[in-house]
Amino acid sequence: MRFNAVVAGVGMTAFGKHMDRGLKSLGAEAVQAALADAGVEANALEAAYVGNAAAGVVTGQESIRGQVILRSIGLGRLPVVNVENACASSSTAFNQACAMVSAGFYDIVLALGVEKLYHADKKVSFGAFTGAVDVEAMSTIMEQLQQSAKSSGAKSASSGSGEKRSMFMDIYAQVARAHMTAYGTTVEQYAAVSAKNSFHGSLNPRAQFREALTVEEVLAQPMIAEPLTRSMCSPIGDGAAAVVVMSERKARELGVSRPVNVASSVLRSGWDHDPAAPGTGDVCSAEAYEEAGVGPEELDVIELHDASAPSEVFAYESLSLCGKGEGGRLIEEGVTRLGGRCPVNTSGGLLRKGHPVGATGIAQIVELTEQLQGRSGDRQVEGAKVALAHNGGGTIGPDAAAMCVTILKA
């Protein structure tokens, strides 16, 4: 579809361990910041789309998550749509908000992503991820992961999945080992992703981790699931991010000074296909490029779903930044580092900014909006005009269960 929606204002919390704060506190901070940034009052909102993935498991808040959060700051009456789509929850909320504005149903809409993952019992936090696969096939999935680990000699990955760590780290590790076997990708190249994103995160005051790491320091950290050391795995986190979406007409009418245009937003779910065939990331990005009228060579800055360091390498290939099997070379050549041809994850990405899953997708939109508006401070990409957000969620079979790719233009 042709989008005529713009991002008029953004806001987000710092991501991190907020044991003393709940969903209402985090969500309120992000919403109020986005409204202030857009220069509109709360009563101007006509609808709200609220993304959250794990509150039911971690906090016990089910069914009316968005309404509870928004009522805490006096936002009632308006229609609230709760969106749950694994790690793609808030990018899906943003996609739907933009679609409804573009279709002419609303002129001013809020899209919010919010998550609390830290819990006194770590098993509760890790359990939030367990439901993002086909639970009826859980025993088969776990057996397959263990067999893969043992056959490759991966001792750390042979036990503890879902108890000592998110089971998704084992899934990413399995794919990482396969990529190394098929294409010669090295563990040093994976570590270089973590080192790059740690440098970017060191420049981001809202990032969960601000320490810059070298490749050697990444490799020296404790092994989680071979070949992933601790810094190659995205951390859990608490946080919220929000955007105010407007129609182009309303933005002009209100005199929004620096609107960012939504050039395309493609949302798809995975399907059964040959593992060698194009997957959801490939298909979504190809559609997004066509819809926006741009190619990958025209992108100035990207926020992508680096739930693990290898995931970023795979995404380079899915987004056609390079050919299949060439993602390791791209990171090695510095193309995706600040100062490179196309910086990726200038926020620090999920690896360093943090990954409160229900907030991650809109946090990407916040980072890219600020980049396109020239207000990213020390991590600013000079002259950025075209940006892409890539956010996946869940796994079924060999592919993501949900995927959203959005292109923004200054």
User: What one-character-per-residue DSSP string does 252-306 give?
Assistant: HHHT-SS-EEEEEEEEEE-----TTS--HHHHHHHHHHHHHT--GGG--EEE---
Strands 228-229 and 223-225: antiparallel
pLDDT at 44 over 60: yes
pLDDT at 265 over 60: yes
pLDDT-based confidence at residue 150 (cuts at 50, 70, 90): confident
Mean per-residue pLDDT, 220-241: 96
Q: What is the pLDDT of residue 160?
A: 62
Residues 390, 305 contacting (CB under 8 angstroms): yes
Q: Over the Cα atoms of the chain, what is R_g? A: 20
pLDDT at 161 over 80: no
Which pTM does this prediction carry?
A: 0.96
Q: Which of 87, 322, 342, 404 is catalytic?
A: 87
Q: Respond yes or no: is residue 87 known to be catalytic.
A: yes
CA–CA gap between residue 288 and residue 191 (Å, rounded): 29
Mean per-residue pLDDT, 37-45: 97
Higher pLDDT among residues 264 and 141, named by residue: 264
Mean confidence (pLDDT) of the chain: 95
Mean per-residue pLDDT, 97-103: 98
For residue 226, CA distances in Å to 152, 157, 197, 217, 360 come to 9, 6, 20, 16, 25
Q: Which of 179, 355, 390, 404 is catalytic?
A: 355
What are the pLDDT digits (tens) for 367-385? 999 999 999 999 999 999 9
Mean per-residue pLDDT, 46-58: 97
Residue type, 351: L
Contacts of 129 (CB under 8 A, 6+ apart): 54, 162, 166, 167, 168, 357
pLDDT at 329 over 70: yes
Find the length of the chain.
410
What are the pLDDT digits (tens) for 106-141? 999 999 999 999 999 988 988 888 888 988 888 888
Q: Which domains does the chain have, with CATH numbers?
A: 5-120+236-409 (3.40.47.10)
pLDDT at 163 over 70: no
Q: Respond yes or no: is residue 355 known to be catalytic.
A: yes
Give the rounded percent of residues in the chain with a pLDDT score beyond 70: 97
pLDDT at 185 over 80: yes
Q: What is the pLDDT of residue 217?
A: 98
- Please provide the DSSP assignment of 134-162 as one string: -GGGHHHHHHHHHHHHHHTT-SGGGS-BT
Is omega for the bond preceding 310 within 30 degrees of 0, making it cis? no
Higher pLDDT among residues 237 and 138, named by residue: 237
pLDDT-based confidence at residue 157 (cuts at 50, 70, 90): low
CA–CA gap between residue 370 and residue 367 (Å, rounded): 5
> Which strand ranges, in their side-by-side order, compose the sheet holding 108-115?
80-83, 47-51, 108-115, 239-247, 5-12, 260-269, 399-409, 386-396, 301-303
pLDDT at 326 over 60: yes
- The residues pairing with 161 across neighbouring beta strands, listed in sequence order, are 165
Window from 132-146, 178-192, 335-349 with minimum mean pLDDT: 132-146
Mean per-residue pLDDT, 316-344: 97
pLDDT at 171 over 70: yes
Q: What is the pLDDT of residue 307?
A: 96
Higher pLDDT among residues 62 and 156, named by residue: 62
Instruction: Please report which residue ranges of 62-186 form alpha helices under DSSP H.
Output: 65-71, 89-102, 122-130, 138-151, 167-183
pLDDT-based confidence at residue 181 (cuts at 50, 70, 90): very high
Window from 77-81, 122-126, 174-178, 190-194 with minimum mean pLDDT: 122-126
